[in-house]
Amino acid sequence: MPAVSKGDGMRGLAVFISDIRNCKSKEAEIKRINKELANIRSKFKGDKALDGYSKKKYVCKLLFIFLLGHDIDFGHMEAVNLLSSNKYTEKQIGYLFISVLVNSNSELIRLINNAIKNDLSSRNPTFMCLALHCIANVGSREMAEAFASEIPRILVAGDTMDSVKQSAALCLLRLYKTSPDLVLMGEWTSRVVHLLNDQHMGVVTAAISLITCLSQKNPDEFKTCVSLAVSRLSRIVSSASTDLQDYTYYFVPAPWLSCKLLRLLQCYPPPEDGAVKGRLVECLETILNKAQEPPKSKKVQHSNAKNAILFEAISLIIHYDSEPNLLVRACNQLGQFLQHRETNLRYLALESMCTLASSEFSHEAVKTHIETVINALKTERDVSVRQRAADLLYAMCDRSNAKQIVAEMLSYLETADYSIREEMVLKVAILAEKYAVDYSWYVDTILNLIRIAGDYVSEEVWYRVIQIVINRDDVQGYAAKTVFEALQAPACHENMVKVGGYILGEFGNLIAGDPRSSPLVQFNLLHSKFHLCSVPTRALLLSAYIKFINLFPETKATIQEVLRCDSQIRNSDVELQQRAVEYLKLSSIASTDVLATVLEEMPPFPERESSILAKLKKKKGPGAVSVTDLEDNKREGSELNGGGDRGVDTAAMAASNASTPSPSADLLGIRSSGPVGGAPASAGSLLVDVFSEAGPTAPSAAVNDDGFLSSAPPSEDPAPPLSEADELLNKFVCKNNGVLFENQLLQIGIKSEYRQNLGRMYLFYGNKTSVQFASFSTTVSCPGELQSHLNVQTKPVEPLVEGGAQIQQVLNIECLTDFSDAPLLNIKFRYGGALQNLTLKLPVTINKFFQPTEMASNDFFQRWKQLSQPQQEAQKIFKANHSMDTEVLKAKLLGLGAALLDNVDPNPENYVCAGVIQTKGQQVGCLLRLEPNAQAQMYRLTLRCSKDSVSRRLCELLAQQF
């Protein structure tokens, strides 16, 4: 790189920067900048014979102004002219300006490409590097099309200087990441791979980054790189720090290149050539040996570089999983890090050992560190390290240490961080089930789990223990005795009451012979918890009571008295009311034989995979997914005998005479969402609650002559929008009709039509139950600034919705100006006396007010160029979320509302659309270009609109549709 002489300093630029720094206020800064812009503009327009130095100085000032956050709309041509200069400093400033300010779709791109071609062919290494840096910085598809075939030639040419080769390799890597379909190596493949043998270490370091990226996409084409990478790695590992002085970092030879080589080898399986494999094993052993040597420096940089290579080598050993000796040595080395004073090293060691635990060769070696890991779980100050320790205990668990690990995890649960308790509970439940030989131990463990962390025990856990107890005759008596003792605690968790109610209702007779657990004692114990429980638990206990009548006829009178009391048969909850009435009638009129048939013991559950493991895999905690995935590779024996992914239905206890349900039966309804904010739906016909109170009326709002209510402010206690509200909204971006929302009680359908800036929407509310909805009201509100952007008027709805009926509501919508948020629809009604309250986002998005505009090709691209301001364009490159089917893409673009233009884009694979968004205040012209890449399964979406906020919003909406 040429030295910059003292005379190249730009005094005018230094003075301008000093003036800006001395400004006392924002206004003074803007005034000074405007003055300078006016001066530069006049110089560019007036003096046609500006010398290179002056152009460079003024372009530098424009660049500085842009970096301060101000828009620059001139000076681009002058920057392009600087590219033709033979002075390094002038050419450098020209390329810098272009890299920062010139848009990839600029009209100047052809001139820029010509200047770059001239520099690339000049054979001046300095100018070639500047040109390559500019291509990499801009990285546009247009530049890839122009230079993708030229750069590989420069890279492998024998007369190309080393510094240019480095720049060419990294420039090609950048183009490959942005436009992989345009960078085709073809004939250059073998010559690029042989850059790994280059004498210059900088060239090798740059080339390996390119080769690694290419190998990940096309491993077969670049498989010859394995032997060369092993050879180069061997030379580095066996060299002394003095052999590679220029590339030695704190006594570690070429650490970055070593890490890159090891990472490249992880793209391939172990080498098939015995000599290459032996050389690689020797390299890995040398790396492990060096880790044992005393450090050559006390500086942290030395240990960081040394450990970086070590961990990358261990990752390669784990990836191959074929060398028992190396795996055990790696495990022992990691075991030393478990007690290192550096927290990051302990974290990385635990994380790597989690993977090692899944290998049959190193599993036993990992188990030897169990005490250290348990100590880390108890004493580590960093929660992320404790999380990794728990993951490792879970991964190393087998039949020989299951009881110890489960006991330690249960002990830790009492003081564990709230953020990881639910995941810990799932892991304990899985381990207890998987490695239980003694089923009484399994029952004790789960009951302890509920006692210690009841709030974090999901339904899947207590469903599972009930399924296993029902399927195992030898544990039923012990389970009944244990749960009876657990319920005697003064305060026990509601999940314990659920398990106790179910097990005693089924198997209480097995412990009834002991006077301390006689039938009446069991019933009184359960009923003492009744008033403290939620509605679903009370429903389960009522089912347990009717089972008691069958098991213990002597309790019939006591239980009937409980069922007969007003708090049951006139309960405000329909489910409890119905159960009490039906169970009371059943116990009164049914004979003993009929009662015994209807209330017989639950049949065994079908054998299926545990649903707890599936839940843990879905858990979005740090490391949760990775560790459970490892479990798929480390199975010891079959699953514990037990049920599967089937809920335990409380109502089914009272109707077990039916045939055994199929494995897919959903007895508890756990696969469908329950009512929002209220009681669960009944399984059968519901009893109307005549004692329900009148619900709140809709908030008052102005009524126009047509009987429409203007949009009201949010009601006093609206529910927050549902968690899936945005997902439901996105489904309607490209369509106007469909089902907006559905649960067990309510279905909401939608049908809408739009013309210019006006729209009309029909909402259909369907009652899916057999009971009427009382006090039914809806409120549409526009939160925040949306009130001034959108006008929504609604017609009031009927306050009563009969069972199985549907009512309609009409909304009129007027778009005043562009907007980004969506109106909120709040729905309230009473179902069985319980207030239901839910809030959704109405699918009213800015694209609904599109008016399609037909254009010829020339008109489209002329308008495209006119919308060339950076703020007018929004662009997003993203992975395809759905199938890249041509007809589906066209249907979605047509559903968007703009006109889909045929034979406009030069590339027939691309899609272009044009339209105008109509608002009351203005019209916003919009052009769209969608470029699919089927090979990479990616899209590039570009929107240009006359208003920048519309470009951004449309880009956000559409990126989620494809």
Burial class (CB in 10 A: 0-12, 13-18, 19+), 70: middle
**Under a CB-based contact definition with an 8 Å cutoff, are residues 725 and 840 in contact?**
yes
Question: How much is the pTM?
Answer: 0.59
pLDDT along the chain (962 residues), means of 10: 52 90 91 91 79 88 91 87 89 90 76 90 91 89 87 88 92 90 84 89 92 88 90 87 75 91 91 90 91 87 91 91 88 89 91 88 89 90 90 90 91 85 88 85 90 83 86 89 90 89 91 89 91 90 91 90 85 89 89 84 73 62 42 39 39 36 28 34 30 35 54 61 82 86 87 88 88 88 87 88 88 90 90 84 90 86 85 88 81 87 86 90 89 88 89 87 82
Q: What is the pLDDT of residue 641?
A: 35
Report residue 136 as tokens.
Answer: 């990499």
Tell me the β-bridge partners of 850: 917
- What's the rounded Cα separation, in Å, for the pair 953 and 949? 6
Tell me the β-bridge partners of 809: 763
- What's the rounded Cα separation, in Å, for the pair 591 and 209? 82
Residue 397 per-residue DSSP state:
-
Q: What is the pLDDT of residue 611?
A: 67
Q: Measuring CA to CA, how many Å separate 592 from each of 285, 505, 511, 582, 650?
A: 78, 17, 22, 16, 22
What's the pLDDT tens digit per position in 729-780? 888 888 888 888 888 888 899 988 888 888 999 999 998 888 888 889 999 9
Q: Residue 6, Cβ neighbours under 10 Å: how many?
A: 6
- What's the rounded Cα separation, in Å, for the pair 638 and 610? 12
Residue 747 per-residue DSSP state:
E
Cβ partners under 8 Å of residue 433, min gap 6: 442, 464, 468, 610, 612, 639, 640, 642
**Under a CB-based contact definition with an 8 Å cutoff, are residues 464 and 611 in contact?**
yes
Q: Residue 283, Cβ neighbours under 10 Å: how many?
A: 24
One-letter amino acid for residue 242 of the chain: T
Cβ partners under 8 Å of residue 560, min gap 6: 549, 584, 587, 588
- What's the rounded Cα separation, in Å, for the pair 253 and 243? 8
Q: Please give the backbone phi and psi of residue 808, each rounded to the nearest 5 degrees, phi first.
A: -120, 145
- What's the rounded Cα separation, in Å, for the pair 941 and 929? 6
Q: What is the pLDDT of residue 704?
A: 54
Q: What is the CA radius of gyration of the chain?
A: 36
**Under a CB-based contact definition with an 8 Å cutoff, are residues 128 and 157 in contact?**
no
Q: Please give the backbone phi and psi of residue 105, each rounded to the nearest 5 degrees, phi first.
A: -100, 15
- What's the rounded Cα separation, in Å, for the pair 868 and 214? 34
**Under a CB-based contact definition with an 8 Å cutoff, are residues 325 and 363 in contact?**
no
- Residue ranges of the alpha helices (H) in 454-487? 459-471, 473-487
Report residue 578 as tokens.
Answer: 């119905």
Cβ partners under 8 Å of residue 162, min gap 6: 198, 200, 202, 203
- What's the rounded Cα separation, in Å, for the pair 184 and 165? 18
Q: What is the pLDDT of residue 169?
A: 93
Sign of the C-alpha dihedral computed for residues 372, 378, 379 and 381 taken in this order:
positive
